[in-house]
Structure 1
Amino acid sequence: MTSSARLTSTELALWHQFKLVGEKVNAAVERDILAASDLTGPEFGVLTRLVDLGDGTLRQGELAMSMRWNKSRLSHQITRMEKRGLVTRTAEGSSVVTVGITDTGERALRPARPAHATSIRAHLTEKLTADQRAALASILESLLPD
């Protein structure tokens, strides 16, 4: 890795483009999910992981790891979602907390899933050719940690 006190203008431009694209696509997708389901992006993320990774329930620690969130952030999010009736939180023993999706959460998720897929297509995948999608996937894969 090259070490320098400052980024070159090319590196800085690439960094800004990378951030801007990610923020723009994510904001558009979250806006579309909210319009379709009244779920925020973080709520959608929690609910989909509960269903996809845990068949409706997960240990809070596993959920935090899957979201790449610290425990405090997830705990605050779950508290807000409990108040909306989207999830329940149950203590199992002295150190295990399980989060489960409610019927209200499942109903909210139904219109959110197709909105999520449609939005990703509209704001990301359909803007690229098949070759560009493959190249982008390869580039992003190379940036993920080992």
Structure 2
Amino acid sequence: MTEPRWLDQRENRAWRGYRRMRGLLDLQLARDLAADSGLSEPDYDVLSTLSETEGHRLRMIDLAGWLLWSKSRLSHHITRMEQRGLVRREESPGDGRGAVVALTPAGLDAIVAAAPGHVESVRRHLIDHLTEDELETLAAITTRVVAHLTAHADT
């Protein structure tokens, strides 16, 4: 068995700082979103994703994949959002087994109303604390790590 490649002090500080920042940032953004719009982060994720698609609809399986959710989690969440009138399920054209989730007019209104406050929260708690160079570095880091993880998603 090979020896573990332990993190050195600098690497450990970066890793732990990232984990702490991610947790605190996610918590603050969720609080702001709920206070400003009454939406949860999962609600916002579904609504914003659908709002950016052609026709404001997407196959359930594709939405689950994009959000990195299980089919079961998505199905349960969509049921709750349907009860609030934000989305609706439709039969998938040409595929009787699949389903499509579509944004309702109320769902579109909800995301249009929530987006400005959410973006302001992201700015206030992250973007405005970074220099232009730090922002470029963060974009480069996230792009590289996402590309690595996406390429190795099946392994």
TM-score > 0.5 by shorter chain: yes
Corresponding residue for residue 20 of structure 1: 20
SS in 2 for 1:94: strand
Moved more, 100-109 or 127-136: 100-109
- Distance between the aligned counterparts of 2:32 and 2:102, measured in 1? 25
Match of 1:112 among 111, 114, 127: 114
- Structure 2 residue runs without a partner (length 5+): none
Q: Any conservation in 2 of the 1:38–1:108 contact (CA below 8 Å)?
A: no
Corresponding residue for residue 98 of structure 1: 100
Q: Report Cα offsets for 1:95-126 as digits up to 9, x if no partner.
A: 11010111221222122110111011101110
Q: Structure with the greater relative contact order (CA < 8 A, sep ≥ 6): 1 or 2?
A: 1
SS in 2 for 1:55: helix
- Structure 1 residue runs without a partner (length 5+): none
Q: Any conservation in 2 of the 1:36–1:111 contact (CA below 8 Å)?
A: no
Identity, in percent, stands at 35
1:88 aligns with 2:94: no
- Alignment length, in residue pairs? 145
- Letter of the 2:86 partner, please give it: L
Q: Give 1:16 shift.
A: 1.9
Q: Report Cα offsets for 1:25-81 as digits up to 9, x if no partner.
A: 222222222122111111011011111024311111111111121211111111111
- Distance between the aligned counterparts of 1:131 and 1:52, measured in 2? 29
RMSD: 2.0
Corresponding residue for residue 134 of structure 1: 136
Match of 1:143 among 138, 142, 145: 145
TM-score, structure 2 length as denominator?
0.83
Corresponding residue for residue 53 of structure 1: 53
TM-score, structure 1 length as denominator?
0.87
1:65 aligns with 2:39: no
Q: Give 1:12 shift.
A: 3.6
